[in-house]
């Protein structure tokens, strides 16, 4: 509980007052986590006509799952698609909740960034007038951090591997205050250690505050409360329209493990299993392994500090060969024609633009789980499409040239669908025993205690579920602090 970001009272009054003045000058009001979890409590005019892609502070009130397709309106049930057997090849319905409705970055990682920065602001732990927020990431979290920093009146710095998709860098170039605020580290998706090393250098600079998503417990807590409740709403809505389904599992690529926090909520509320997914080319949880892969957004080779390993039920590995090639299938006319030929409804095909590479990974993991567990038509798996295809246009071009020799015609599309979608096997799926969980948990020691300076006692305390339950008690206090901060700002306080 002594880790940065977990304070529940103001720790520096001078910093707090400077933040209040900055927010007053820029007319910034913050939503509570309770409001983001239940947007019906947000005043209808909170966002008004703000452009969802602009650095408008009113977009903070859209950092939730209930945005409509226009990313301006609000919907009662988060936008989702129920994937049919004609697409997945399995009887169990796979429900995918679409994150490209979030503002600014069209990904739910903007929620993680808000969850990490807001508690620091309202406890006087971060000075928006003098400090830089450093956002290490392999994908969307650094974009979310830059966006949240800008609309909350401070300077954000993105740290990410130089080999990430061109679209990520193009977006960042349009949002940072200075080109130097985009820091490229060596490697690609699997090179998280290099990001940590660069952040260790930055941390020695007095104005730098590192928001390490892999170690920031508010990342877990934001998804537990906001994403977890949103997914429960979707499951309950789906059950209103058909014969009731048994919610079997929540599936999510590990990445920072923040989104996996929603699995804890669903397990408590609905009794679901929690399924963590990783790249087969870097099987860290499955085999204590290593390697390199291209499933952008799920950096690995270590166990995140905020991963509640002892509450994880399955681990599934997915190959980046499949995600790369299905990204082409889903985003070309000939690929979509092949899916239509196989009976996939046009309404479902139209949603594939909302599936980025890690989203495809989640779907494949859900298919593999359904086959391994022998799930039927009354068993539901729920997952998220973490971002949309527009972040990966250049990846389609690369894979077309590299894997298909520049030719992707109907026979190649049919073979791709047959091998990588309908042919997805039930291999590399492990239902964890307690011994497996302890093995995965212990692997985190080398990153966090030996390399990152976490105390041994703090590290091992995370084995107990009481540790995570205690953390969740911070959320109501943070909401109260946000309300008090808004009142001091003098704007209309969140209700």
Could you give the CA distance from residue 72 to residue 34 in angstroms, rounded to a whole number?
20
Closest CA relative to residue 313, chosen from 230, 220, 251: 251
Which range has the worst mean pLDDT, 184-188, 310-314, 365-369?
184-188
Q: What is the 3-state secondary structure (H, E, C) of the chain?
A: CCCCCCCCCCCCHHHHHHHHHHHHHCCCCCCCHHHHHCHHHCCCCCCCCCCCCCCCHHHHHHCCCCECCCCCCECCCCCEEEECHHHHCCCCCEEEEECCCCCCCCECHHHHHHHHHHHHHHCCCCCCCCCEEEEECCCHHHHHHHHHHHHCCCEEEEEEECCCCHHHHHHHHCCCCCHHHEEEECCCCCCHHHHHHHHHHHCCCCCEEECCCCCCHHHHHHHHHHHHHHHHHHHHHHHHCCCCCEEEEEEEECCCCCCCHHHHHHHHHHCCEEEEEEECCCCHHHHCCCCCCCCCCCCCCCCCCCCCHHHCCEEEEECHHHHHHHHHHHCCHHHHHHHHHCCCCHHHHHHHHHCCHHHHHHHHHHHHHHHHHCCCCCEEEEEEECECHHHHHHHHHHHHHHHHCCCCCHHHHHHHHHHHHCCCCCCCEEECCHHHHHHHHHHCHHHHCCCCCCCHHHHHHCCCHHHHHHHHCHHHHHHHHHHHHHHHHCCCCCC
**Reported confidence tier of residue 144, pLDDT bands at 50, 70, 90:** very high
**Reported confidence tier of residue 297, pLDDT bands at 50, 70, 90:** low
> How big is the chain by its Cα radius of gyration, in Å?
21
Predicted confidence (pLDDT) at residue 185 exceeds the cutoff of 50? yes
Residue range 219-264, pLDDT digits in tens: 999 999 999 999 999 999 999 877 789 999 999 999 889 999 999 9
Could you give the CA distance from residue 274 to residue 311 in angstroms, rounded to a whole number?
7
**Please, are residues 291 and 192 in contact by the beta-carbon 8 Å criterion?**
no
Closest CA relative to residue 259, chosen from 167, 144, 375, 88: 144
Average pLDDT over residues 293-311: 82
Closest CA relative to residue 219, chosen from 119, 112, 99, 300: 112
Say how many C-beta atoms besides its own lie within 10 A of residue 342's C-beta: 15
Which range has the worst mean pLDDT, 164-173, 244-253, 353-362, 410-419?
164-173
Predicted confidence (pLDDT) at residue 486 exceeds the cutoff of 80? yes
**Reported confidence tier of residue 495, pLDDT bands at 50, 70, 90:** very low
Residue 246 backbone dihedrals phi, psi, to 5 degrees:
-90, 115
Which pLDDT belongs to residue 24?
Answer: 96
Percentage of residues of the chain with pLDDT beyond 70: 96
Predicted confidence (pLDDT) at residue 299 exceeds the cutoff of 70? no
Could you give the CA distance from residue 395 to residue 35 in angstroms, rounded to a whole number?
37
HSE at residue 108, side-chain half, CA atoms within 13 A, is 35
Which pLDDT belongs to residue 280?
Answer: 93
Percentage of residues of the chain with pLDDT beyond 90: 83
The pLDDT mean for the chain works out to 93
Higher pLDDT, 390 or 295: 390
Which pLDDT belongs to residue 38?
Answer: 98
Closest CA relative to residue 226, chosen from 116, 308, 316, 311: 116
Could you give the CA distance from residue 264 to residue 37 in angstroms, rounded to a whole number?
15
Residue range 349-372, pLDDT digits in tens: 999 999 999 999 999 999 999 999
Torsion angle (degrees, nearest 10) of CA 220, 449, 298, 62: 30
Which pLDDT belongs to residue 391?
Answer: 84
Give the Cα-Cα-Cα angle 183, 161, 286 (nearest 5 degrees): 145
Residue range 457-474, pLDDT digits in tens: 999 999 999 999 999 999
**Reported confidence tier of residue 494, pLDDT bands at 50, 70, 90:** very low
Predicted confidence (pLDDT) at residue 291 exceeds the cutoff of 90? no
Could you give the CA distance from residue 475 to residue 299 in angstroms, rounded to a whole number?
27
Higher pLDDT, 205 or 177: 205
Average pLDDT over residues 369-376: 98
């Amino acid at each position: 509980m002594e880790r940065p970001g977990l304070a529940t009272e103001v720790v520096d009054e001078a910093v707090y007052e400077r933040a209040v003045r900055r927010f007053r000058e820029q007319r910034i009001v913050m939503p509570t986590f309770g409001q983001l979890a239940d947007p019906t409590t947000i005043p209808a005019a909170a966002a008004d006509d703000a452009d969802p892609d602009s650095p408008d502070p009113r977009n903070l009130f859209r950092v939730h799952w209930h945005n409509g397709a226009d990313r301006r309106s609000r919907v009662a049930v988060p936008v989702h698609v129920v994937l049919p057997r004609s697409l997945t090849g399995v009887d169990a319905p796979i429900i995918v909740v679409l994150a490209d409705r979030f503002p600014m970055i069209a990904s739910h990682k903007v929620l993680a960034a808000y969850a990490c920065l807001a508690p620091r602001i309202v406890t006087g732990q971060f000075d928006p007038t003098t400090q830089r927020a450093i956002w290490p990431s392999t994908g969307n979290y650094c974009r979310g951090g830059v966006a949240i920093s800008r609309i909350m009146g401070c300077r954000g710095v993105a740290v990410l591997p130089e080999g990430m998709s061109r679209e990520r860098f193009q977006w960042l170039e349009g949002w940072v205050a200075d080109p130097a605020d985009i820091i490229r580290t060596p490697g690609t998706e699997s090179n998280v250690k290099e990001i940590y090393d660069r952040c260790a250098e930055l941390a020695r600079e007095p104005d730098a505050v590192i928001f390490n998503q892999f170690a920031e417990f508010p990342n877990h807590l934001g998804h537990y409360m906001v994403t977890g409740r949103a997914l429960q709403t979707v499951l309950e809505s789906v059950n209103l329209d058909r014969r009731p389904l048994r919610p079997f599992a929540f599936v999510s690529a590990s990445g920072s493990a923040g989104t996996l926090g929603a699995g804890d909520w669903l397990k408590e509320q609905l009794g679901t299993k929690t399924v963590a997914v990783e790249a087969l080319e870097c099987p860290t949880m499955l085999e204590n392994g290593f390697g390199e892969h291209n499933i952008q957004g799920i950096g690995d080779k270590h166990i995140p500090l905020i991963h509640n390993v002892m509450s994880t039920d399955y681990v599934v590995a997915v190959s980046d060969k499949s995600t790369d090639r299905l990204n082409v299938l889903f985003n070309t006319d000939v690929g979509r024609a092949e899916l239509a030929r196989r009976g996939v409804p046009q309404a479902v095909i139209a949603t594939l633009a909302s599936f980025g590479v890690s989203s495809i990974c989640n779907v494949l993991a859900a298919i593999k789980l359904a086959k391994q567990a022998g799930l039927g038509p009354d068993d539901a798996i729920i997952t998220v499409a973490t971002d949309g295809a527009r972040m990966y246009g250049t990846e389609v071009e690369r894979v077309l040239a590299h894997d298909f020799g520049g030719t992707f015609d109907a026979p190649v599309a049919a073979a791709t669908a047959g091998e990588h979608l309908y042919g997805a096997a039930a291999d590399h799926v492990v239902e964890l025993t307690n011994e497996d969980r302890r093995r995965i948990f212990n692997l985190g020691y080398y990153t966090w205690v030996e390399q990152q300076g976490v105390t041994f006692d703090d590290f091992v305390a995370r084995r107990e579920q009481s540790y995570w339950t205690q953390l969740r008690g911070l959320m109501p206090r943070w909401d109260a602090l946000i309300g008090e901060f808004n009142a001091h700002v003098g704007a209309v306080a969140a209700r």
